Structure 1
Amino acid sequence: MSVRRGHLPRERSRAWGRAADLTLGVRFAFTGGREGWTRAVLTAVGVGLGVALLLLTTAIPNALSVRHEREAARSDIAFAIDTMPKANDTLVVADLDEDFRDDTVRGRALEPEGPRAPLPPGVDEFPAVGEMVVSPALKKLLESDSGALLRERLADRIVGTIGESGLIGSAELAYYRGAEGLAAHITPGRVERVDRFGDPEPGEEQSDPVLLLLILVVFVVLLMPVAVFIAAAVRFGGERRDRRLAALRLVGSDSRMTRRIAAGEALAGAVLGLLFGAGFFMVGRQLAGSAEVFRISVFPSYLNPSPLLALLVAVAVPAAAVLVTLFALRGVVIEPLGVVRAGRPARRQLWWRLILPLAGLAMLYPMIGNGRENGDFNQYLVTGGVVLLLVGVTALLPWVVESTVARLGSGGVAWQLAVRRLQLSSGTAARMVNGIAVAVAGAIALQMLFAGVDDDYTKSTGQDVSRAQMEAQLPTGVPIAPAAEKYRDTKGVAAVYAYSEGYLGSSAQDPDHGSTVTVGDCASLREVARLTSCADGDVFAVHGAEWDAGEDMAKLAAPGRKLYADPSYEGGPKSLEIPWTVPQGIKKAKPRPSLVGGIDTGGFLITPKALPDALVPALEGHAYLKLDESVPDVHELVRNTTTGIDPLASTVTWAATERTDRFDAIRTGLFVGAACVLALIGASLLVSQLEQLRERKKLLSALVAFGTRRRTLSLSVLWQTAIPIVLGLLLASAVGLALGTVLLKMTSTPVHVDWTGVLSMTGIGAAVVLVVTLCSLPPLLRLMRPEGLRTE
């Protein structure tokens, strides 16, 4: 018992001693005069930038969730087959969505049918006819000169703004306008009657293993450079710190104590960095409310980090700072008379550095060939494998830099100064480039993966963009001929192909057979079928079209047969069921590839004189427009004409291909994240470069005092940056290509190297370093003065 009682105080005293050493390090960080404060602030800024981005990343899932909830809460158009009856709590809503240049404008026309009609989220009261409530971003646009064309078709008086609860982002363009007479135009997907807002049956999107893999890799690739930069930031001022630790050895501290003191200094810088990071995050959070990146915007309130993830960041960053510092000091001998760095250091070993990327490949190897058919990829193996491969870049780069600069030969004075500096401190140079190398390696791999699977998520629309570039869709009952004349009078419209389109069935209800009917002049009809001759008053039946596969057009188009326009179907609303008799003398026509859809147009073709008035209510107008793209804002001029024809009319801009929304969303998220990471890379590199120059202040001043030209010193600094970055980018390209190849094989996609993407990613990384280097030249010139030799 006596031994135990003596043992406990000894252990407790050791623990108190270790804590005192850490505390002493913290005190050194803040009480070391200007020198200590400068290093602490530089470390805090570097760590803070990384922490801010980590907090932003932890807030992204919540932001996406809130955007989804807001979108679901204001859902109204649900493509309902059954129309609910009019009541005192119903509202008729019309979808008026449109585009303005490169932006989407969300629009709704509202007609309340009773005092209890539901209000949309973010709206306090219904706008009257001729009035509208708009989002703050749309109001700003309409009041600016750049929104003049949009103001022409949104001419209603603005009586209020939509609140945050009714918008998915601060830069969203949206409006609600008052309307009347909408009930007569109720059409599923376009004009509907509702008694509440919100999606009553939110469907779960079916998971796609490849898309989930993309999301996982995107997050890992974006976060890895952040972690690398935080690890580099806590080592700012390492050489000066080691000299201070040597002074501590002189007054009696042992090597373990000095390491704990160093860890305390790093801990202080990391904790201060957490405070800086929280401040940067709050500033960035507010700035996010006025920013839009790749058409994505959020409100500041959306960016709330998950408490658990924020706590993880708060614990992990100081712990990582201590571990990195202890790891960095493992090969440094701190003695009372100095730090042993001048001697020839032991050459870096390659074998253990290769273990990391090889282990990463080993973790990914079991999933090669999985594709989409074998379920989701193992998220732990994917995350671990990608992390190890990217960490392998940081492990291999110091060896590559050391081995290369050791073999560099003679050259000019600037070259020799740069090479000698790199030979003495290749590790410091590699640390500066590590973040860029990791970012570029991950970006190249993702670029390969996106390019490889792009075809799986991109499909042809069938729209012939050589014959038309826009389509106007007119509501039922709007005469097509006057509308076509208005389009022809619109500046920039080269040709107009106008049609009224509908459907003819063999019976009034639940027809077993039927086909389309298209009404237009002879010039327009020749765009959809091959006609031997055509005059106004003719009727044609197209035989052999893909659209009518399985239909006997000879029987369906027999003269005297009665067909029905807009037939009704069981379970659907009552339709018009207008009878029409196939006329005598109907002509045959041959199919031709359609303007839209990519298949032959079939059915019946009718010229205007042969169209009975009774059929007009069953037809919808479509105008296909060929544009002169050299006319400025030609698309906006067409949209203004469309709104003038009928407020419920809409336009569609044609494209040869379309891409899956989720794939586009992931790609957009990658671009947004990459922009943030590149901004962090640039800022952190600049801080690191300034710290390196500050440590070499006396050396630069001494060289200038001895007559070295400033131009020579500036070139030497450029060479010191250029050599490691070239080596880092080459290594990043190799690792990125390897990772991209493995990811493509995992998705069972043929391996194809997108060299344009590889070179562009590499070029972006090099451009960031070049900009940072140029920004560091003014401080460099100020440091190269003989006054820098002054000391106390």
Structure 2
Amino acid sequence: MKPWQWRRDLALGARFAVTGGREGWIRMTLTAVGVGLGVALLLLTTALPNVFTARHRVEEARSDYTFSGTTRPRADDTVLVAVTDSRWRSKDVRGRLLEAEGPRAPLPPGLGSFPGKGEMAVSPALRDLLASDGARLLRERLPYRITGTIGESGLIGSHELAYYAGAEGLDPDANGGVRVERLTRFGDPHPTGEKADPVLLMMVLVVFVVLLMPVAVFIAAAVRFGGERRDRRLAALRLVGSDSRMTRRIAAGEALAGALLGLVVGTVLFLIGRQAAASVEVLGESVFPAYLDPSPALVALVAVAVPASAVLVTLLAMRGVVVEPLGVVRTARPARRRLWWRLLLPLAGLGLLYPMLGKGRDGGGFNQYLVTGGVLLLLVGVTALLPWVVERFVARLGSGPVSWQLAVRRLQLSSGTAARMVNGIAVAVAGAIALQMLFAGVESQYTKDTGQDPGRASMEVTLPDHSDVTAVGEAFRRTEGVRTSVVLSTASAADKRVDPDTLIDLTVGDCAALREVARLPSCRDGDVFRLRNPHYDADYNASLAAVVRPGRQLYLDPAYSDSPGLQVPWKLPARLEQAPYREDALQNAANGLLVTPSALPAKARPGLRGHVFVRTDEAVPDAPEHVRNTAARVEQTADVITWTETRQSTKYASLRTGLFVGAVCVLALIGASLLVSQLEQLRERRKLLSSLVAFGTRRRTLGLSVLWQTAVPIALGLLLSSVVGLTLGAVLLKMTATPVTVDWASVLSMTGAGAAVVLTVTLLSLPPLLRLMRPDGLRTE
């Protein structure tokens, strides 16, 4: 076959699609819309790597960590930065206090000049939030005058809440409170070079394959819209002398025209969505439009792969159709589908994944090609097995109501069309079930126990040195929404003034506060108690016992060769009672000595680091915001944290968020594709429906038959996808050396989501169905 013949026939088919009248335009429009939706999602997916790169680049550029244990000297090119991150309800607020120490002090990315004392530069989202009616408490916490806006180069997302405020008197050597750094430049000066987690990398690969596979399946189905009418039109070409091969190439040309138009539609949809991305926030994540720039190589791949797939899919589909001059031979009983080669695909996928079973995190990296190929073959196996399952099942369906018989007969005559409609959602559900199993299985590996008991305290406020803890504690007790507050201070004592051999932890507070750490026999101001934490190593506790003896001379806040200390001498009292440690202590790391305030020398007070433990009243609206406002008012560099039982890895949480966003997009695409496919099927059966209505068939019966035609294949598809998804999930868990457990709630939720999409599509297709069920639909020209 000469190339010019291919070009001629493909061009002729494209011309038929464009100039084929109303029928040709409808078919090409349906194909273009279907392909366009898939292309838009493909372009979005190809842009995701650049989103991650751009956000990481901004994070690196604005980094203010020195990763150094020493403080550099003040110079004319240094700036002091205090981290004052906060929260507003469920959203994080990134805050920094800046104090330029010279004319050459470096500016953080996104700022044109330093804000003065009492001034701040804010992100656009924070500016809008502060101007809203419901942000009164946040305005009280940030009592600065807005004088500038942070540029895009200093923000990781369009909805990020961030500010830079001017300050004076920041102390980089202070202990407690928030971190204060002295910088000569922003950015990470010493990249850690952290080794990539092989399990997370494997999960990223699987997420991309699972999200992209349904899109590819949908595009392959979209290019076959209107196939039955097209085949009947092609019969006319046989009358004027074209052979069967030329007819197939012309059909491929029609599909090619729709696919090319779909590329244009998809590009337009992507550009519209890209521009609108700045106004959207999903689970606290947002992006700038500039971040959604796909890689040119990936864009070129999509531009070539989509039209090529349209041609290939059409040629393969036409192999099962005999287009003769007098009609299309499709009414004859088709050959039964064979099972053996359909089983080879999932078996081959399992074969590719088998060498990596049991590797886990310590077994080396996972081969990305084997992972991608194995997961791909397993999911493709769903699309290969589903037509066989539908054909075998519907062939055994028997009698029933008229609506059931109409649906069954239609499914028996065109089971392949029914399977194509649900292939995309079956693949999506199978992949989602596997990923849910994987995420649920490894979640404990990325979730750490903090040791905090939210039932004992809701929030903790860490104060900087030299804070008046008594006044601070009183301020929190008067705060709206605070049920109880406990003030404890920490310090350290040692056996020597400089470079000690043994350090002893001190917990300082009144008797009521100390009872939140240990069970005191009796207590009055001036008492000192020995505390032995059973969670510490026995040798360490023994070394402490050897030093902590009545009358022993200790030194509070000892000095080290690289940092000064107060070095206050302190003689232990002659009476030291033992205090049993509370398992639910507010300070779970407390050990050493419990000290009431008057037992310490007055000179030691500047070295105390105060902690306020607050329990809020959940019945008071915005109680945590009142606590944060009090902390900001009494000490601008106080550090406020909310107590939680566990803390999850940010990388794992980001990946799970990305999976959720991608799954929502894919389900929306599948819903749209099913609706377009359903409408196309109804359009092709317009005359048949009109004939049945003209002969007296009730509309309710026809509506139920359409529902059955959708429900039976989707039920089989969800059943098959559950089996494949559970198998793939078990294999992935075995690969990560994680015990195989089935999260049945997730399995049911995924299948339920798939069923809900189909039900929604069916309901949306009822109005067009009612319009088509009219006798005047029999009119023709």
Structure 1 stretches lacking a partner, 5+ long: 1-10
Rounded to whole Å, the distance in 2 between the matches of 1:583 and 1:93 is: 42
Deviations 1:699-732 (A, max 9, x none): 2222222222222222211111111111100000
Answer whether contact 1:548 1:603 (CA < 8 A) is retained.
no
What pairs with 1:395-414 in structure 2 (closer than 5 Å)? 395-414=384-403
The Cα of 1:44 is off from its aligned counterpart by: 0.9
- In 2: Cα distance, 1:397 partner to 1:540 partner: 73
Aligned mate of 1:579, from 555, 560, 569: 569
Match of 2:59 in 1: 71
Aligned to 2:134, the other structure's residue is in SS state helix
Which residue of structure 2 lines up, in the alignment, with residue 138 of structure 1? 126
Deviations 1:685-707 (A, max 9, x none): 22111211221222222222222
Q: Deviations over 1:550-589 (max 9, x none)?
A: 243443223343322332334x333333332223333332
Amino acid at match of 1:633: D
- What is the correspondence of 1:52-67 to structure 2 with a 5 Å cutoff? 52-67=40-55
- C-alpha distance 665-596 of structure 1, shift in aligned 2 (>3 A): farther
- Distance across 2 between alignment mates of 1:577 and 1:412: 93
Matched-pair contact (CA < 8 Å) for 1:542–1:553: no
1:456-605 correspondence runs (5 A): 456-543=445-532, 545-547=534-536, 549=538, 550-551=540-541, 552-570=543-561, 572-593=562-583, 595=585, 598=588, 601-605=590-594
**Aligned residues of 2:71 and 2:172 also touching (Cα < 8 A):** no
Choose which of 17, 21, 33 in structure 2 pairs with 1:29: 17
Within 2, Cα distance between the matches of 1:136 and 1:578? 50
Q: Output the amino acid matched with 1:555.
A: A
1:331 aligned residue: 320
Contact 1:132/1:177, CA 8 A, preserved across alignment = yes
Secondary structure at 1:331 match in 2: coil
Q: Distance between the aligned counterparts of 2:436 and 2:748, measured in 1?
A: 11
Conserved? CA contact 1:350–1:399, under 8 Å: yes
Query: Of residues 133, 153, 163 in structure 1, which corresponds to 2:141?
Result: 153
User: Contact (CA 8 Å) 1:468, 1:595: kept in 2 or not?
Assistant: no
Letter in 2 for 1:431: R
Q: 1:606 aligns with which of 595, 604, 607?
A: 595
Counterpart for residue 746 of structure 2? 757
Please report how far the alpha carbon of residue 185 of structure 1 lies from its aligned counterpart in structure 2 after TM superposition. 5.9
Partner residue in 2 for 1:219: 208
- Provide the C-alpha distance between the structure 2 equivalents of 1:677 and 1:654, rounded to a whole number of angstroms: 36
735-744 or 554-563, which deviates more: 554-563
Aligned partners of 1:543 and 1:553 also within 8 Å: no
User: Is the Cα–Cα contact under 8 Å of residues 545 and 602 in structure 1 kept in the other structure?
Assistant: no
Q: Name the CA distance, whole Å, in 2 between partners of 1:674 and 1:24.
A: 39
The amino acid of 1:445's aligned partner reads: A
- Say yes or no: does 1:650 pair with 2:629: no
* Cα distance in 2, alignment partners of residues 140 and 414 from structure 1: 56
- Return the letter of the residue paired with 1:791: T
Match of 1:182 among 170, 185, 190: 170
Contact 1:515–1:548, Cα closer than 8 Å, also in 2:
no
Give 1:179 shift.
0.8
Contact 1:690–1:776, Cα closer than 8 Å, also in 2: yes
Mapped pair 1:388 → 2:377: yes
Distance 1:509 1:546 in 2: 28
Output the CA distance in 2 between the equivalents of 1:315 and 1:184: 57
1:400 corresponds to which letter in structure 2? V
Unaligned runs of 5+ in 2: none
Number of equivalenced pairs:
778
How far apart, CA to CA, are the structure 1 residues paired with 2:565 and 2:779? 94
SS in 1 for 2:241: coil
| Farther off after superposition, 485-494 or 353-362 | 485-494
Q: Which amino acid in the other structure matches residue 56 of structure 1?
A: L
How big is the shift at 1:628? 2.4
Q: TM-score normalized by structure 2?
A: 0.97
CA distance in 2, matches of 1:597, 1:333: 80
- What secondary structure does 2:488 align onto? strand
1:271 to 254, 260, 264: 260
Q: Within 5 Å, which residues of 2 pair with 1:249-398?
A: 249-398=238-387
Structure 2 CA distance for aligned equivalents of residues 482 and 128 of structure 1: 29
Contact 1:51 1:278 in 2 (8 A): yes
Superposition pairs for residues 618-629 of structure 1, below 5 Å?
Answer: 618-629=607-618
SS at 1:593 equivalent: coil
Answer whether contact 1:48 1:280 (CA < 8 A) is retained. Answer: yes
Deviation at 1:378, TM superposition (A): 1.4
1:779 match: 768
| Alpha-carbon distance in 2 for matches of 1:431, 1:205 | 45
SS at match of 1:289: helix
Q: Percent identity?
A: 67
Secondary structure, counterpart of 2:171 in structure 1: helix
Q: CA deviation at 1:187?
A: 5.0
The answer to whether the 8 Å contact 2:172/2:181 transfers is no
Report the equivalent of 2:779.
Answer: 790
Is residue 288–residue 297 contact of structure 1 (8 Å, CA) maintained in 2?
yes
8 Å Cα contact 1:437/1:732 also seen in 2: yes
Shift of 1:349: 1.2
Deviation at 1:785, TM superposition (A): 2.2
Report the secondary structure of 2:530's partner residue: strand
User: Contact 2:566/2:604 (CA < 8 Å) preserved in 1?
Assistant: no
Q: 1:444 aligns with which of 426, 433, 439?
A: 433
1:152-187 per-position Cα deviation (integer Å, ceiling 9, x unaligned)? 211211112110000011111100011111137645
In 1, Cα distance between equivalents of 2:405 and 2:701: 10
Tell me, in whole angstroms, the C-alpha distance in 2 between the residues paired with 1:479 and 1:755.
54
CA pair 80-579 structure 1, distance change in 2 beyond 3 A: farther
SS of residue in 2 equivalent to 1:530:
coil
Task: Give the aligned residue type for 1:526.
Answer: R
Q: 1:422 touches 1:429 (CA, 8 Å); kept in 2?
A: yes
Distance 1:27 1:616, change over 3 A: same
1:717 is aligned to 706
What is the SS of the residue equivalent to 1:385?
A: helix
Q: Is the 8 A contact 1:452 1:744 kept in 2?
A: yes
Given that residues 546 and 602 in structure 1 are in contact (C-alpha distance below 8 angstroms), is that contact kept between their aligned partners in structure 2? no
Q: Which moved more, 1:57-66 or 1:492-501?
A: 492-501
Q: Partners in 1 of 2:670 and 2:90 — Cα distance?
A: 29
Q: Name the residue aligned to 2:690.
A: 701
Q: How far apart, CA to CA, are the structure 1 residues paired with 2:134 and 2:722?
A: 43
For residues 775 and 467 of structure 1, the distance between their equivalents in structure 2, rounded to whole angstroms, comes to 52
Q: Distance in 1 between matches of 2:567 and 2:126?
A: 43
- One-letter amino acid of the counterpart of residue 146, structure 2: I
CA deviations 1:744-782 (Å, max 9, x no partner) are 112221111111111011111111111122122222222
| Counterpart-to-counterpart distance in 1, 2:536 and 2:487 | 20
How much has 1:80 moved relative to structure 2?
3.0
AA aligned opposite 2:204? I
User: Which residues in structure 2 correspond to 1:91-110 (within 5 Å)?
Assistant: 91-110=79-98
Are residues 251 and 308 of structure 1, via their aligned partners in 2, closer, same or farther at CA, if it must alter by over 3 Å?
same
The 5-angstrom pairing of residues 730-769 of structure 1 reads 730-769=719-758
Query: Aligned AA for 1:68?
Result: H
Distance 2:523 2:445 in 1: 43
Deviation at 1:272, TM superposition (A): 0.9
Q: 2:70 aligns with which of 61, 71, 82?
A: 82
